[in-house]
Structure 1
Amino acid sequence: MRLVEGVASVADVGEFVATVGELAEETETTVQAFDARYVVSEAHLRRAAELADRAFERGENVARDRAVEILLYAAGRRQIDDALTIGVSPGETPIVVLVEGSEAGEDAAADAVAERLNFEPAETLGDYDESLVRDFFDVGDAELATVDGDLESLVLERVALLVVEK
């Protein structure tokens, strides 16, 4: 799995998503873009991908597409419409793009992300918006205090709990 970080200028979300789909098909990889303001760490996306794969192996997946299933787990949601909040939005947005497949496919997809997605490489991972994350994952002050302010741990817990909530 590779993560490609940067800032994207998204004029049309539908067009952006279509281009991501084309990249995935052309490179025979899974490609999913996230709003980096909602991604707390690489472990967040790695765990979402692992759980999505396990859901497919067990025939428990909600989405037909692996990239969408990863999005669901990363968001800790079963409803695609709700999970899309952590996807890309119109305008200039810090993003992180998950690319997974063969090594050659990942290399090709990662290169294509910068070329075809109106994407400026930049470090975005780990620079999440605490307020957005807390609101989206419904993390209150009391809950955060019980884990000594470790928001990443709580988000990873939400990702893992999605399996139990089915």
Structure 2
Amino acid sequence: MDLKIIGLKGKIDSVSDTLNQLNSIKKDSEIIQLLNADAVAGKRHIEHGVNQAFLAFDRDENLANDLSVEICLRCSAQRQISKAFDLLGLKEGPMNLCAVLIDCDDYTSQLSSLFTLDDDVLTPDAGKLKEIYDISDDELEIIDVENVLIDRISKLVVDY
């Protein structure tokens, strides 16, 4: 698997139009997943979620029928699609975005025609993430916010 994670800034006028634009530039075997970068705790967080999504499909433990949705579920450390989309999904208006490209050609130029490239949006804001994911001060005394989310993603596999 070839995985690229890119930070973007932009304005979403229509979620469905944006998804249609992404679908029109990629090939069938490729995945381009846009996530709310404000709910991302760094590239390791996303890498772990993507790996867990692939493992879930390999083991027949996937929670969703679609790999892109499974990636959103795993990265959000949620079991319910609606909750995952609330946390990491696209919303209309200005957004910081995390683009997850799997087995893709280099679509940087196409993405930069839709959005502004900005990897700084992938720098975690611990205070914001603490609120988004309801992370306690006790958890953050032990490990950083990125590792809290990685731990929660890993527990999705165990907690049935």
State TM-score, norm by structure 1: 0.85
Residue 138 of structure 2 corresponds to 142
Residue 153 of structure 2 corresponds to 159
Deviation at residue 4 of structure 1 after TM alignment? 2.0
2:32 maps to amino acid:
V
Residue 3 of structure 1 corresponds to 5
Q: Is the 8 A contact 1:2 1:106 kept in 2?
A: no
Residue 121 of structure 1 corresponds to 117
- Corresponding pairs, count: 157
Deviation at residue 20 of structure 1 after TM alignment? 2.7
2:152 maps to amino acid:
R
Residue 14 of structure 1 corresponds to 16
Give me the whole-angstrom Cα distance separating, in 2, the residues matched to 1:60 and 1:31: 22
Give me the whole-angstrom Cα distance separating, in 1, the residues matched to 2:20 and 2:148: 32
Give me the whole-angstrom Cα distance separating, in 1, the residues matched to 2:23 and 2:157: 26
Residue 112 of structure 1 corresponds to 110
Task: Say whether residues 1:95 and 2:94 are aligned partners.
Answer: no
Q: Is the 8 A contact 2:8 2:119 kept in 1?
A: yes
Moved over 4 A (4+): none
Give me the whole-angstrom Cα distance separating, in 2, the residues matched to 1:12 and 1:67: 19
Q: Is the 8 A contact 2:98 2:122 kept in 1?
A: no
Give me the whole-angstrom Cα distance separating, in 1, the residues matched to 2:91 and 2:63: 23
Q: Is the 8 A contact 1:27 1:106 kept in 2?
A: no
Give me the whole-angstrom Cα distance separating, in 2, the residues matched to 1:47 and 1:63: 17
2:58 maps to amino acid:
E
